[in-house]
Structure 1
């Protein structure tokens, strides 16, 4: 396992649409292991393969609190099959370090995906899990949280990220 570099906005690779995964090959299994190590080290509650420059339709989520045992969920080729309700709440993103903004999402979702073992499963989620799933699925489609913000918030976040990038480069 290895900790990978997380891409930060405005890296253009974050806009790439991920490609479906066919066979669960040793390379995909290693990618999942690397993603888990990277996500936990960050620390974060979710990570999409595109956030580390890998064009595969894979994301991970673990919303367990620090005092709870890990509950890592692996989603390969995920698709939302049902969504209900609406909520708006704060979201952060490992590709937008230090940024938290209110984002509008479905309150409940049902997702169909394949797991690490390749078996298809469905999961109904609400609360933080539903938000995390929608957020990570957006990444696989090249959609970022900044795309879900109003014009003023978007400009503020863009300036913060440009400043952060300039400081990191110097």
Structure 2
């Protein structure tokens, strides 16, 4: 009888140990997974911290620029202090006085058809440039039938892009 009781107690103890070992293994797996998630979260938080730091620095710089502009300085003084073109300073001042802008301006889409220069016209221009490499753009226009309608800006662009 005593040995049967002992055997039962040993079997029950073994079962408890097996369940405990399985529970410890599950807990260890959960701890490893939690550590991996924590490492990923820390990496993401570090990246976000860097982004926020850069954003804060930009906001501080912008605040300094706006403070200088608020000090009743003329646009011309702002141009001298910042080294930015007068028209840009005027535009920023106008936007600031109107309360800022929530959206970016629409993209510029010029109306009308896009003119194209034929290969024949490009060949005429190329021959003139080969004959006289230092020729001025205005001298290209009146000389030939094909370049009579081509504007200077187009000639500059085609010379730069195609030749």
Short-chain TM bin = under 0.3
- Give the strand-richer structure, 1 or 2: 1
Structure with more relative contact order (C-alpha pairs < 8 Å, separation 6 or more): 1
TM-score by length of 2: 0.20
